[in-house]
């Protein structure tokens, strides 16, 4: 493992406290807060944030993720309305809605995503909404529900290369994720985005092949970031990559024809989501 590790600026505690207070007021979960994301300052300054719906307990157990695994609670049908109220109070211009995996539900949570878009668009007409969804087991009827939601962008994270995907995501599938992204791209004119982590044991050849797979699936927007181990029980970091490495990967992806590529140590799937 090389010695380079990403560094971040100290957080703006006043700004973060304001957001946290409003989230508590409406009993909402933000990925930014839940994961103590290092990019919160920039996103908040640009009136952008990411809400996590359908609770904070996931039915899957990916080895890189810090979300709890277990039996989730019932769906809160008032959650979309509260999110819309928070979006209005925070004067957000761009919102990302994501969720835990809900394989316990008949629709895997797809309809809750739609409710969120509808409530936000009704109350905040100028706010753009991106949906960062699970794979919904690539069921076309559920993916079509998401497409028909009137979202401004559709996202699903590929997360890793084929070579290590099964190790990291034992209950998910590399090709099923591609199938999900392909359906979004082929059946709509909505921009489609995906994200990859590096530093988990993949090699550059693997990454380039994954770029090709994503491009062939119709993905137009890509984010690349350094994996950071949430706790000792999670998948360890195999390697930390340099800024030059991320810049080179960005150039390779852009040369393949991706419309936008955000690449860097601290980049996460929703980083600068409002810009591309």
Please give the structure tokens belonging to residue 50: 């990411």
Q: What is the structure's pLDDT at 45?
A: 59
For residue 1, what pLDDT is reported? 44
100: left (phi over 0), alpha (psi -120 to 50) or beta: beta
Q: How far apart are CA 94 and CA 274, in angstroms?
A: 6
Per-10-residue mean pLDDT, the chain, length 276: 49 67 86 59 67 92 83 96 96 93 96 98 96 97 98 97 92 95 98 96 96 98 93 91 96 98 89 66
Q: In the chain, where are the structural domains located?
A: 13-275
pLDDT of residue 30: 73
Q: Name the CATH superfamily, with its identifier, for domain 13-275.
A: Aldolase class I (3.20.20.70)
């Amino acid at each position: 493992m090389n010695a380079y590790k990403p560094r971040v600026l100290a957080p703006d505690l006043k700004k973060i406290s304001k957001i946290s207070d409003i989230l508590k007021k409406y009993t909402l979960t933000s990925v930014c807060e839940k994961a103590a994301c290092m990019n919160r300052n920039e996103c908040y300054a640009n009136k952008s944030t990411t809400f996590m719906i359908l609770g904070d307990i996931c039915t899957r157990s990916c080895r890189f993720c810090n979300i709890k695994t277990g039996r989730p609670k019932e769906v809160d049908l008032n959650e979309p309305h509260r999110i819309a109220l928070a979006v209005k109070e925070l004067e957000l211009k761009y919102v990302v809605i994501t969720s835990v995996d809900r394989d316990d539900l008949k629709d895997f949570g797809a309809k809750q995503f739609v409710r969120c878009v509808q409530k936000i668009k009704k109350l905040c007409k100028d706010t753009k909404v991106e949906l960062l969804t699970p794979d919904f087991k690539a069921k076309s009827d559920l993916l079509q529900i998401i497409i028909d939601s009137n979202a401004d962008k559709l996202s699903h994270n590929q997360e890793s290369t084929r070579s290590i995907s099964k190790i990291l995501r034992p209950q998910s599938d590399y090709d099923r994720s591609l199938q999900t992204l392909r359906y979004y791209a082929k059946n709509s004119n909505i921009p489609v985005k995906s994200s990859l982590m590096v530093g988990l044991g993949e090699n550059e050849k693997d990454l380039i092949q994954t770029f090709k797979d994503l491009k062939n699936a119709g993905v137009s927007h890509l984010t690349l970031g350094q994996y950071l181990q949430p706790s000792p029980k999670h998948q360890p970091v195999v390697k930390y990559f340099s800024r030059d490495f991320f810049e080179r990967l960005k150039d390779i992806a852009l040369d393949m024809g991706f419309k936008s590529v955000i690449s860097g140590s601290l980049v996460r799937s929703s980083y600068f989501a409002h810009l591309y």
